[in-house]
Amino acid sequence: MDAVDYSLVDMSQQTTTLEKLELTGSPHERGVIHGEAFADEIASNVALYLEIFEYKGTDEKTVYEQVDEFIPLIEDENKEYAEEMKGIAEGSGLSLEEVTILNARYEVMYSAFKQAADELDEGLPDACTAFGIQPEISSTDHTYLGQNWDWMPGLETFVMDIKRDNKPNMVAMTEAGIVGGKIGFNEHGIGMTLNGLITEKDGEDPFNKPYHVRFREVLDARRMDEAIAPLISTPRACSANVIVAHEVGEMVNLEISPQSSNYIYPQNHLLTHANHVEDRSTMNSEFEKLIPDTLCRAPRLKRLLAQHEGDIDVDVLKNALQDHFGRPNSICRHPNEEDEKLDQLQTNGSYIMDLTEKCMFGTGQPPCTTEYAEFQLT
Ligand SMILES: [Zn+2]
């Protein structure tokens, strides 16, 4: 029997370029620049999230009631973040409430899922496959970090290039309208990735510091301990998986649920993670009941990369992230036509960070359909 080629590349689809926007000045000024540049995209994202919340059983009125609590909560937790949100609202012509829907979207979403179903079997957060590479197994002696980010088709994203006087300069992918950044790194060589997790207490108490505020605080850090603290120091509304890494090669994978945290370190200088909890000692794991492919994606990526131990570079990482084993529910994920539209997931972006060179390679589409663009921190 012929071997199946799971890496078939379909270049016939569109090649949308991932845009970069430089954000400078005060937090408010940065927000205005963001809002003016992506007004239509932010409005589109608000509409898409309201649609999915409604689909999961949470109407607009309930969403806005939650948002009214998140506005002062974010102000208390991180004043600069709140100022940047206000700038986005001003620049885009949307209300602060609409912008807050995006910035607290994890917390609102998990709460919606919880209300829709006690067993959390109705909703899907971001489903992704992430990796960390220590310099010992790269061909370049560099530290790499990255992921495929799998989420709803149609969501608008871009890359922020933030220049600041009082905090580190940073490069990070974000959803249009969200201050935080999600997958990115800063001038001190600190980077982060993000995967969705589901554990049993998610959504019970949504009113905690939103994850996107925490992500910005990770990217504000000068040292690893400062980057880890915002993720684990205070209770959370829901669960997530974050790899935090430093350019010298130190890295830790944090599995975090509302009340507990697990710490996983590289084995053979390699970390991979998808959407199920690997360390069940402090939390259960629910996501694999919804998308069993998570159980295959992390070990698959680990195997694809381990084959190149000592030779890993950006091209090896690009090839691994284009893998189609189990398509459409593959590392390079494509919408499953059998699913309802609002249940569909695809790789909405593929990101490889060279923390040593302080640059990111990224796509705004499945990586098999478009070339990676390069974003250098300057
Ligand atoms: Zn693909």
Residue among 31, 26, 12 at smallest CA distance from 90 = 31
How remote is the CA of residue 37 from the centroid of ligand 1, in Å?
29
How remote is the CA of residue 9 from the centroid of ligand 1, in Å?
7
Chain centroid offset of residue 86 CA:
22
Q: Do 103 and 85 meet the contact criterion of CB atoms below 8 Å apart?
A: yes
Mean pLDDT (whole number) for 170-194: 98
How remote is the CA of residue 2 from the centroid of ligand 1, in Å?
21
- Res. 4: pLDDT tops 50: no
pLDDT at 14: 46
How remote is the CA of residue 218 from the centroid of ligand 1, in Å?
30
User: What are the tens digits of pLDDT across the range 320-378?
Assistant: 999 999 999 999 999 998 888 888 899 999 999 999 999 999 999 999 999 999 999 99
How remote is the CA of residue 366 from the centroid of ligand 1, in Å?
5
pLDDT at 122: 57
Distance CA 118, CA 150 (A): 24
**133 beta partners:** 144, 270
Phi, psi of 161 (to 5 degrees): -115, 95
User: What are the tens digits of pLDDT across the range 220-275?
Assistant: 999 999 999 999 999 999 999 999 999 999 999 999 999 899 999 999 999 999 99
pTM of the model: 0.94
Which has more confidence, 5 or 200?
Answer: 200
Q: Residue 267's CB: how many other CB atoms inside 10 A?
A: 10
User: What are the tens digits of pLDDT across the range 276-310?
Assistant: 999 988 898 888 888 999 999 999 999 999 999 99
Task: Grade residue 45 by pLDDT with cuts at 50, 70 and 90.
Answer: very high
Q: Which residues surround ligand 1, an ion (CB under 5 A)?
A: 332, 366, 368
How remote is the CA of residue 18 from the centroid of ligand 1, in Å?
17
How remote is the CA of residue 236 from the centroid of ligand 1, in Å?
33
How remote is the CA of residue 364 from the centroid of ligand 1, in Å?
12
* Average pLDDT of the chain, as a whole number: 92
pLDDT at 94: 98
- Res. 158: pLDDT tops 60: yes
Sign of torsion over alpha carbons 152, 359, 370, 368: negative
How remote is the CA of residue 243 from the centroid of ligand 1, in Å?
23
How remote is the CA of residue 189 from the centroid of ligand 1, in Å?
30
Sequence-distant (6+) residues with CB within 8 A of 166 are none
How remote is the CA of residue 365 from the centroid of ligand 1, in Å?
9
How remote is the CA of residue 269 from the centroid of ligand 1, in Å?
27
How remote is the CA of residue 8 from the centroid of ligand 1, in Å?
8
pLDDT at 110: 82
How remote is the CA of residue 112 from the centroid of ligand 1, in Å?
30
